[in-house]
Amino acid sequence: MRVTACVFLFAAALLIFPPRIHAQVPAQTPAGGAFSHTVEAGAERSAFTHIPWDSIPADLWDKVRNGRSLTRQTWVISPSLEPRIAGLGPTYNRPSCLSCHPGNGRGGAPATAARAMHSMLVRLSVPGTDAHGGPKPEPRYGDQLNEFGIPGGVPGEGEAFLEWQPRKEVLADGQEVILRWPKIGFRKLAFGPLTEAYMTSARVAPPIFGLGLLEAVPEADILALARAQRAAGDGIAGQPNYVWDAGRKQEVLGRFGWKANQPTTRQQIAGALAGDMGITSDILPEPNCPPAQAACAATREKTGEKHPEISSADLDDMTLYHYVLAIPDARRGDDAAVRGKALFSAAGCATCHQPELKTGAFPAFPALAGQTIRPYTDLLLHDMGPELADGRPDYRANARQWRTPPLWGIGLLDAVNGSGRYGLLHDGRARNLLEAILWHGGEGEKAREAVRKMSAKEREALLAFLKTL
């Protein structure tokens, strides 16, 4: 009788004083459509490496595995008993993809000038354009500085370093934020000083998942977003970049890279193999040896290496592996994240960081077609103001323009990289999400100012939402 009475009284109390139910960010469309996965507790560190095998035709599984192996592979110098993974150099920055993309994720910037750039690089160019309208390489060092050379007389080109300059920002409620911006320097240059008119751009390695889904978004949809932004007349006007497609031998829409300077996943991978590791392919079949670097050019005769060094089939398998990497779904958030999602839109962030896109027909890998995805990008270039400008044009992208980076997975960076061991924005200057927002200028200025004027609780809510992505 006493137990029954207690149960009755407890039930009555619930009717009079119902428990507070915390709102949660509602379930959304899976971030990558069929190529999505729920990140289980304790598995966050591997969040960017998941492969949704059920969405991949079984006859492609071996190719996916081969592509994964090559992406994880540490490449070796020719000649080698393993010729399939030989070809590192003559000059290079790192010996594997994961050296710059830890866990398939984002690289970081060195904390001091004394530390090496382990997962970033410095692009180089001089005024003018190359034969296809892209940046004109620096005459002595090419289009990026390579730190290392292979044994046998090939010197590394030199080292780049970053000297951080502080800058204090005061938000509307009095909160102080210390930002930093990098000054690029060079040391140990093996072939003399850089040309007087040289231009530079420091670049942090971006995540490598989701590329196939972004490649499958129809060009017409991207251009429609640009038209809609211009028509709105609120100061945001994204522009497409048009770049050289080495495979098709024509100018096409750029989608990848910090300035949308690569057209396809396959060419993006080939460019990284060539630029970062010195590995030639059918897209870039010749070693990157500027005329001043005679020892670099002579390595073919010394080693007997053949070009291209990676076969077309292996490059295709690496591309397929990048296509199938699953997108981590957004995590459910609490009350603050619910408010933060509304604040994200109200501040104007969603105009460029488009929450939802759809993929179209994609003959290269039909399984990616017809997916609704949530990447938070429009794949367009935007003028981000003079403070983020790198002074270096790239095809039709001017010095102030940057492609809107996708935000999917951004809330997992601490888990994948380790807390603070990554850099946001193109040069890694932002150490957290708030710093990245406060660097927005140009077309992003209104959104930045909206965040600057928020109360501390509102900013916390906005950041809580971003950390669910």
- Residue 236 and residue 401: Cα distance in Å, rounded? 12
Answer positive or negative: Cα dihedral of 363, 365, 370, 372. Answer: negative
CB 323 within 8 A of CB 32: no
- Give CA 234 to chain center in angstroms: 27
Contact 165, 277 (CB under 8 A): no
Judge whether residue 10 has pLDDT over 70: no
Domains of the chain: total: 1
For 160-189, write each residue's pLDDT tens digit.
999 999 999 999 999 999 999 999 999 999
Round to the nearest angstrom and report the end-to-end CA distance of the chain.
51
137 DSSP assignment? P
List, as own/partner pairs, every contact residues 137-143 make where C-beta atoms lie below 8 angstroms and the sequence separation is at least 24, other chains included.
137/290, 138/194, 138/195, 138/198, 138/290, 139/195, 139/290, 139/291, 139/292, 140/191, 140/192, 140/194, 140/195, 140/290, 140/292, 140/293, 141/189, 141/191, 141/194, 141/290, 142/288, 142/290, 143/275, 143/288
Q: For the residues of 284-299, what is the DSSP string, one character each?
A: S-S----TT-HHHHTH
Decide if 318 contacts 269 (C-beta within 8 A). Answer: yes
Q: What pLDDT score does 420 carry?
A: 83
pLDDT tens-digit map of 305-344 = 678 999 999 999 999 999 999 999 999 889 999 999 999 9
User: Is the residue at 30 inside a domain?
Assistant: no
Residue 335 lies in a domain: yes
Q: Is 27 within a domain? A: no
**What tokens were used for 43?**
């598995």
Q: How far apart are CA 322 and CA 255, in angstroms?
A: 15
Over the stretch 410-467, which tens digit does the pLDDT of each residue have?
999 999 998 888 999 999 999 999 999 999 999 999 999 999 999 999 999 999 999 9
Q: What is the distance between the alpha carbons of residues 323 and 365, in angstroms, rounded to a whole number?
A: 8
Closest CA to 135 of 365, 397, 336: 397
Residue 80 scores a pLDDT above 90: no
Q: Are 297 and 288 contacting, i.e. CB atoms less than 8 angstroms apart? A: no
pLDDT at 262 over 70: yes
User: Beta partners for 183?
Assistant: 163
Please give the structure tokens belonging to residue 370: 């017809």
pLDDT at 17 over 60: no
- In whole angstroms, what is the distance from residue 442 CA to residue 435 CA? 16
79 preceded by a cis bond (ω within 30 of 0): yes
Tens of pLDDT, residues 198-237: 999 999 999 999 999 999 999 999 999 999 999 999 999 9
Residue 17: inside a domain: no
Residue type, 170: V
| Collapsed DSSP state (helix, strand, coil) of residue 277 | helix
Distance (Å, whole) CA 134 – CA 154: 28
pLDDT at res. 303: 65
Structure-derived torsion over alpha carbons of residues 146, 311, 76, 94, reported in degrees to the nearest 10? 30
What range defines the domain where residue 315 resides? 36-466
Identify whether 155 is part of a domain: yes
The CB density around residue 19, as the number of other CB atoms within 10 Å, is: 6
Task: Flag whether 2 is in a domain.
Answer: no
Answer whether residue 11 is part of any domain: no
Q: Is residue 163 part of a domain?
A: yes
pTM over 0.85: yes
Note the pLDDT of residue 300. Answer: 72
Sheet holding 135-136, edge to edge: 135-136, 120-129, 199-204
